[in-house]
Amino acid sequence: MRMPEMLKEVLKNLFSKPATVRYPFEKPQPVPGTRGALTWDMERCDECQDCERVCPSMAVKVYPEEKKVEYNPFKCLFCYLCVDNCMQKAITGSDIVRTPEYEKKVEVYESKKGEK
């Protein structure tokens, strides 16, 4: 690269907007199609165990007798097979990516159906 071409590039970069985000101070917008956190709507869930069967990492465990779903986000690959295969549309995914955590927690979703 010749010097005039390089000087032109340096000046362009010097006076243009930065390509990155100042992360700790500004949160970046999620990219469309980002696979993020999963949640269960236990009002719609019928504990059919389809999500447990299709999960390749065994991050979902369904207890139909107890009307309970255990979800381990640390095992989850975020492949969204459970979301796609849920016939009741009880599992929803968002584009919000989880922040790192210090403790591995299993999320428990319990059904309130039949309780008075």
* Domain ranges, residue 61: 30-110
| Beta bridge partners of residue 40, listed in sequence order | 91
pLDDT band at 113 (very low <50, low <70, confident <90, very high): low
How many structural domains compose the chain? 1
User: Residue 77: inside a domain, yes or no?
Assistant: yes
Residue 98 sits in a domain whose CATH number is 3.30.70.3270
> Are 82 and 61 in contact, with CB atoms under 8 Å apart?
no
CA dist., res. 114 & res. 116, Å (int): 7
The per-residue pLDDT for range 21-39, each reduced to its tens digit, is 888 888 888 888 889 999 9
Model confidence band, residue 114 (pLDDT cutoffs 50, 70, 90): low
Token duo for residue 106: 């299993």
Q: Does the reported pTM lie above 0.75?
A: no
- 56 domain-assigned: yes
